[in-house]
Amino acid sequence: MAANGGVGRLVMSADDLRRTLTRMAHEIVERNRGATNLVFVGVPRPGPILARRLAEAVASFENVNVPTGAVDISLYRDDLVSRAATPAMHPTDIPVDVTDRDVVLVDDVLHTGRSARAALDALTDFGRPRSIQLAVVVDRGHRELPIRADYAGKNIPTALYENVEVRLDELDGEDAVRVVARPEVANAAAS
């Protein structure tokens, strides 16, 4: 089964995703008692787009423009040597000094927790935030590190041979969350 072109089990539609991001934006503002000290930093590729959508939602009901940015984690990964391929790098752009701000890290899927760990290390190289919180669209379980999400759009129990894809209009031509089988893992299990 290919991982593109609208295949796989649909678990969130475009409307579901929009409502979920709006709810998460409300939760973030409620938990932080306002939005003036917030910064949203996304993990590429989808994270920065999700961060912008959260900021747009906050602007619509709270009338505060939350700065958004991107933090690439390639240089902070713990599997650079064991991975088959060197990960492609994406721009890092931290728009404001994060020291003493409440930074919300935004990622599409929380899985092992290793990306979040790398993002925490990357972020703290830019300053000492008052707090760092984690917002993800999907928490799929299978954690390998003591990391949890402060804001999760949806909990989706998955098997290890599955992949959760958060597909965004800007990157994939549709807004949707799908669960697809990872052919290489499924085949390895079968053989």
Partner 1 sequence: MPLHRRHLIDVADFSRDEFDTVLDTAVSMREVLDRPIRRVPTLRGKSIVNMFFEPSTRTRVSFELAGKSLSADVVNVAASGSSVEKGESLVDTFHTIQALGADMVIIRHACAGVPDLAARHLDCGVVNAGDGLRGHPSQALLDLFTVREHAGDLEGLKMVIVGDMLHSRVARSDIWAFARMGAHVYLSGPPTVLPPDFGDLLNGDGMVRVEYDLDRAIEGADVVMALRIQKERMAGGLLPDLREYARRWGITPDRLGRADRQVLLMHPGPMNQGIEISSDVAYGEQSVITEQVTNGVAVRMAILYLLLTGAH
In the bound state with partner 1, the residue whose beta carbon lies nearer, of 18 and 77, is 77
The binder of partner 1 chosen from 4, 23, 60, 125 (CB under 8 A): 125
CA distance 51 to 158: 25
Residue 184 within binding range of partner 1, rule CB under 8 A: no
For residues 42 and 67, the answer to whether their CB atoms sit within 8 Å is: no
Minimum CB separation from partner 1 for residue 39, in Å?
16
Minimum CB separation from partner 1 for residue 171, in Å?
17
E strand or H helix that includes residue 189: helix 183-190
Minimum CB separation from partner 1 for residue 65, in Å?
24
CA distance 105 to 40: 6
CA distance 105 to 165: 18
Q: Restricting to residues 75-114, which ones interact with partner 1 according to CB under 8 A? A: 75-76, 80-86, 88-92
In the bound state with partner 1, the residue whose beta carbon lies nearer, of 17 and 94, is 94
Structure tokens at 28: 């973030």
In the bound state with partner 1, the residue whose beta carbon lies nearer, of 1 and 81, is 81
Residue 145 within binding range of partner 1, rule CB under 8 A: no
Q: At what angle do helices 14-31 and 46-62 cross, to 10 degrees?
A: 60
Q: Any idea what DSSP says for residue 88?
A: P
Applying CB under 8 A, the residues found at the interface with partner 1 are: 72, 74-76, 80-86, 88-92, 121-122, 125-127
